Amino acid sequence: MRKVDVFDTTLRDGEQSAGVNLHPHEKLEIAHQLERYGVDVIEAGFPASSQGDFQAVKQIAEEVKNCKVVGLARSTKKDIDAVWQAVKGAKKPGIHLFIATSPVHMQFKLHKEPEEVIKTAVESVQYASQFFSHIQWSAEDATRSEWPFLAEIIEKVIEAGAKVINLPDTVGYTTPEEYGKLFQYIKQHVPNIDQVKLSAHCHDDLGMAVSNSLSAIQNGVDQIEGTINGIGERAGNASLEEIAVALKIRKDAYEVETNIQLNQTVRTSKLVSKFTGMAVPQNKAVVGANAFAHESGIHQDGVLKNKQTYEIIEPEMVGLYSNKMILGKHSGSHAFHEKCKELGIYLNEKDGKKLFVAFKELTAKKKEITEDDLYALMMDDSFIKGASPTYQLEYLQIAYGSRVIPTTTIGIRTPDGEVLQESATGKGSVESVYNTIDRILKQPITLVDYRIQSTTDGNDSLAEVYVKVDIAGQSSSGRGVEHDVLEASAKAYLDAVNRIQVKEYFGEQEKGVSSL
């Protein structure tokens, strides 16, 4: 069957989801898991956007060996140079160039005439070809562009050295039929189109990203783009896991294959969900908690007699197994680190030792340790400290009850090492915690969202708290993991503040120059 490449942009387009701020360490963990998942291309970030993103892309490029690692660039020498410096250490480096081609974008965003856009696109590809053998070029807002103009500019960027041509549905505007016809038109009207691969990149504004992507495959594209769990700007991107499973289950209809290792699907989805703090809807296709649940008596009866009556996807196909670990309180460090490798957890020696200590402490509190517990421990803020200054929770004391005004006392270690203490009350215990932190930090912090969940079943489960805050007009998300809900709440709040600190430390610009 025909082979279709999978281009993952979770770390670039996916990270542009509102409130998501991934640390370099978190991006690296996701990149390693994407490598295990079997994607062909990892778009690691947008190096020119900030020093932090540059360093993250550079680290991923140096460590990932089995995938192409590309960086995004606008059609400028500055952006192209930044990508080259970031990915030149990769085994398979590449660049993703883009420029807008729709009338509305050219007129109101670029302020360029069509001839100027063609000239800029060609010159950028020619310049990039001095460094890269793998050049992907994208026509931003292709589905609202004039097709003859698209054909003209595509022909010229191919002549300039582009190897992959991507026609993104940037605003989720098109329909499956229209998108398929667009690719057919380009194939028929671009003389040198046989020299490149065609790629599809779809957004989900009208809920058709996966359908549009599958239509593109039926119409001959060689590469499909998307993100894990469909995260991304606005309504998100096409969900890669849904596309991959659809191609497997309906291979009779699509007649293509990918390198995706489907048994890594659930693990990849969970990792991205936990790092980004973006919960997977329970009814989401393939990876939702209810994807293999049957409430109806008729359905339950049918499944008990034969699973094929109501289950077209075997849970084992996507890696849905019991996630209990064989390790316990008597396990040694060697067995522990081997298990980490099996789970796709890659930490340096220092952080690996920290995680082992945290694991041993947890075995004293829990009888059964799961993979989810281990991921939760790994995502604790003690494993994501970088060179940037951060605030740390030193101690927490809370008095509350049904007829008592909740009162909190907190000690926080500041970036310069000083421990500050304050007390405050609130209408509830969580509010008293956050009011106390606000007093210490003396910043205008607005809590936008608060969410709590357990890592596993049982009374001894770890509590995971996710928050979204607004600090002086900047949106940030944070998470905290602890046995105690209130301590986890305090850690999540501080984590959100620390992510703003990291962003300012690296002098980051706004992430979203484009969602393509």
pLDDT digits (tens, 9 = 90+) for 94-116: 999 999 999 999 999 999 999 99
Q: Where are the domains of the chain?
A: 2-276, 291-320, 333-383, 392-505
**pLDDT at 369 (0 to 100):** 77
| Per-residue confidence band for 146, with pLDDT thresholds at 50, 70 and 90 | very high
**pLDDT at 514 (0 to 100):** 60
Q: Of 176, 165, 226, nearest to 34 (Cα)?
A: 226
pLDDT, average across residues 339-348:
75
Q: What angle do CA 415, 506, 502 make, to 5 degrees?
A: 45
Asked if 63 and 36 count as a contact pair (C-beta separation under 8 A), the reply is no
Residue 152 clears pLDDT 80, i.e. is over it:
yes
126's CB contacts (< 8 A; 6+ apart) are: 160, 161
| Per-residue confidence band for 77, with pLDDT thresholds at 50, 70 and 90 | very high
User: Which residues, listed in sequence order, are joined to residue 482 by a DSSP beta bridge?
Assistant: 463
**pLDDT at 95 (0 to 100):** 98
Q: Of 472, 482, 480, nearest to 496 (Cα)?
A: 480
Q: Of 375, 251, 230, 286, nearest to 3 (Cα)?
A: 251
**pLDDT at 336 (0 to 100):** 83
Residue 169 clears pLDDT 60, i.e. is over it:
yes
Q: Which residues of 256-295 are buried (b: 16+ CB within 10 A; e: fewer)?
A: bebebebebbbbbbbbbbbbbbbebeeebebbeeebbebe
Residue 44 clears pLDDT 90, i.e. is over it:
yes
Residue indicated by tokens 């096409």: 238
- Architecture of the CATH domain 392-505: 2-Layer Sandwich (3.30)
**pLDDT at 383 (0 to 100):** 53
Q: Dihedral of CA 177/182/185/187: which sign?
A: negative
Higher pLDDT, 169 or 299: 169
Q: If you average pLDDT over every residue of the chain, what do you get?
A: 90
**pLDDT at 254 (0 to 100):** 97
**pLDDT at 387 (0 to 100):** 44
Mean pLDDT check: name the lowest of 67-71, 292-296, 390-394: 292-296
Mean pLDDT check: name the lowest of 71-75, 373-377, 501-505, 509-513: 509-513
pLDDT, average across residues 234-242:
97
Please tell me the distance from the alpha carbon of residue 210 to that of residue 146, in angstroms, as a whole number: 23
Q: Give the up-direction half-sphere exposure of residue 311: CA atoms within 13 A in the CB hemisphere.
A: 20
| Per-residue confidence band for 504, with pLDDT thresholds at 50, 70 and 90 | low
Q: Of 409, 399, 375, 414, nearest to 490 (Cα)?
A: 409
348's CB contacts (< 8 A; 6+ apart) are: none
**pLDDT at 310 (0 to 100):** 66
- The CATH class, in words, for 2-276 is alpha beta
**pLDDT at 403 (0 to 100):** 87
**pLDDT at 326 (0 to 100):** 61
pLDDT, average across residues 18-47:
92
Residue 415 clears pLDDT 90, i.e. is over it:
no
